[in-house]
């Protein structure tokens, strides 16, 4: 198998950001006939736009024959391989990214793990070229690259409006609430804030959440905050009081009661048990 290729341009981040949307890698590649990647697994989302030529993408036991104008998505921790055509090997642009916003962005397209390939009439390569032109490790580079990635998604959303998802409007509201919580859980937000963000009444939002998640919006918010506190208890030496305020609880005693109810033990006992296991 010929594994030669020519990388025209390439970027890789030196650090992994925990932002809502972070670009980790991007590039432009011209492949030789039969150039193969995989089988292998990526630890991020990877979007490939086929500029010219042809190739095949294999994932979940399916084979997709792709051509210029196609986009294929690699989902994290999914075994994939892709192979350039023998007669007309492809040239593609790619961008790899992570973040809490990603699922919400994909929800507003027709992409899904079951439908990882789409065709676009507009040339999407200039938007990835713009990402590459802004490449760098400074914070302003990251902001510029992320801005162009949002624009790329907006173009895909505009052309490939999700088909048959009108019945899934409730899931879209939940995605939006999750997005809001992810960015604001450490603040003193309320159910009223969540309802305002998605443009629903509190009662309507409550009904959607109970039907879809078996939790009320407040229970969902509380569980998310407790999950974040678990990470802090595991990975830091922060005081319980500071952890409580960091995840959105104004009162340490109230945080401890909520934590104990959900985890079956107090935060301090949870930390002690973790420490004893690691000794």
Q: What is the pLDDT of residue 18?
A: 46
Rounded Cα–Cα distance for residues 136 and 57 (Å) = 30
Q: What is the pLDDT of residue 273?
A: 87
Region for residue 89 given its phi and psi (left: phi exceeds 0; alpha: psi -120 to 50; beta: otherwise): beta
Residue 17, number of CB atoms within 10 A of its CB: 16
What's the pLDDT band for 69 if we cut at 50, 70, 90?
A: very high
Average per-residue pLDDT for the chain: 86
Higher pLDDT, 194 or 142: 194
DSSP H helical ranges for 236-266: 240-246, 252-263
Q: What is the pLDDT of residue 1?
A: 45
What's the pLDDT band for 28 if we cut at 50, 70, 90?
A: very high
Mean pLDDT of 51-78: 95
Beta bridge partners of 47: 73, 95
Q: Which residues contact 206 (CB under 8 A, 6 or more apart)?
A: 191, 216, 217
Q: What is the pLDDT of residue 2?
A: 47
Q: What is the pLDDT of residue 161?
A: 62
Rounded Cα–Cα distance for residues 273 and 238 (Å) = 16
14-23, 201-210, 239-248: range with lowest mean pLDDT: 14-23
76-85, 167-176, 244-253, 267-276: range with lowest mean pLDDT: 167-176
The answer to whether the CB of 95 falls within 8 A of the CB of 46 is yes
Q: What is the pLDDT of residue 118?
A: 93
Cis, bond preceding 39 (omega within 30 deg of 0): yes
Residue 142 reports pLDDT greater than 80: yes
């Amino acid at each position: 198998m010929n594994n030669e290729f020519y990388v025209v341009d390439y970027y890789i981040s030196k650090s992994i950001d925990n932002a809502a949307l972070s670009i980790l890698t991007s590039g432009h590649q011209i492949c030789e006939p039969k150039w193969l990647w995989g089988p292998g697994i990526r630890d991020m989302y990877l979007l490939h736009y086929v500029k010219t030529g042809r190739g095949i993408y294999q994932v979940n036991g399916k084979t997709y024959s792709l051509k210029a104008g196609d986009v294929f998505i690699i989902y994290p921790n999914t075994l994939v391989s892709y192979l350039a055509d023998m007669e007309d090997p492809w040239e593609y642009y790619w961008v790899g990214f992570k973040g809490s916003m990603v699922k919400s962005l994909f929800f507003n397209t027709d992409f899904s793990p079951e439908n990882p390939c789409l065709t676009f009439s507009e040339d999407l390569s200039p938007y990835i070229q713009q990402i590459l032109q802004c490449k760098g490790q400074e914070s302003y580079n990251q902001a510029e690259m992320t801005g162009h990635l949002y624009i790329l998604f907006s173009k895909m959303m505009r052309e490939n409006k999700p088909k048959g998802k009108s019945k899934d409007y409730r899931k879209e509201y939940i995605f939006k609430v999750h997005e809001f919580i992810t960015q604001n859980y450490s603040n003193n937000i309320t159910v009223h804030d969540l309802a305002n963000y998605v443009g629903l009444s509190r009662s309507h939002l409550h009904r959607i959440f109970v039907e879809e998640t078996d939790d009320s919006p407040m229970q969902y918010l509380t569980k998310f905050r407790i999950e974040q506190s678990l990470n802090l208890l595991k990975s830091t030496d922060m005081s319980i009081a500071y952890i409580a305020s960091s995840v959105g609880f104004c009162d340490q005693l109230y945080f401890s009661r909520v934590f104990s109810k959900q985890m079956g033990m107090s935060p301090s006992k949870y930390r002690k048990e973790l420490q004893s296991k690691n000794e």
